[in-house]
Amino acid sequence: MNLKEIKVLEVEPELIENFKCRDEKVKRYLIEESRKREEMNLTRTTVFIEETTGEVIGYYAMHAAYTKLAKYIRRGTEREIEEWGPIMYTDQDVDYPSIKLHFFGRCDNDLYKGIGSQFLMHFLNKCYQLTKVIGFSLIALECKTDLKQYYKDHGFKCIGSDGERKVMAMKSTDLKELFE
pTM of the model as a whole = 0.87
* pLDDT score recorded for residue 59: 97
Q: Rounded to whole angstroms, what are the CA distances from 22 to 3, 26, 54, 105, 142?
A: 21, 8, 20, 9, 18
Instruction: Give yes or no for a contact between 59 and 47, defined as CB atoms under 8 angstroms apart.
Output: yes
CATH of span 3-179: 3.40.630.30
One pLDDT digit (tens) per residue for the chain, 180 residues: 788 999 999 999 999 999 999 899 999 999 999 999 999 999 999 999 999 989 999 999 999 999 877 554 445 555 554 555 555 555 667 788 999 999 999 998 866 778 999 999 999 999 999 999 999 999 999 998 889 999 999 999 888 777 788 889 999 999 999 998
Q: In angstroms, rounded to a whole number, what is the distance separating the alpha carbons of residues 102 and 124?
A: 13
Query: Which of 45, 41, 166 has the alpha carbon at shortest distance from 102?
Result: 45
- What pLDDT does 99 receive? 97
Nearest to 168 by CA among 110, 108, 120, 111: 120
**Taking the domains of the chain in order of start, what are their residue ranges?**
3-179
Question: Of 110, 122, 105, 112, whose CA–CA distance to 50 is shortest?
Answer: 112
Give me the pLDDT at residue 85, please: 55
Q: Which residues of 35-51 are buried (b: 16+ CB within 10 A; e: fewer)?
A: bebbeeeebbbbbbbbe
In whole angstroms, give the CA distance from residue 120 to residue 126.
Answer: 10
Q: What is the pLDDT of residue 159?
A: 81
pLDDT recorded at residue 24: 94
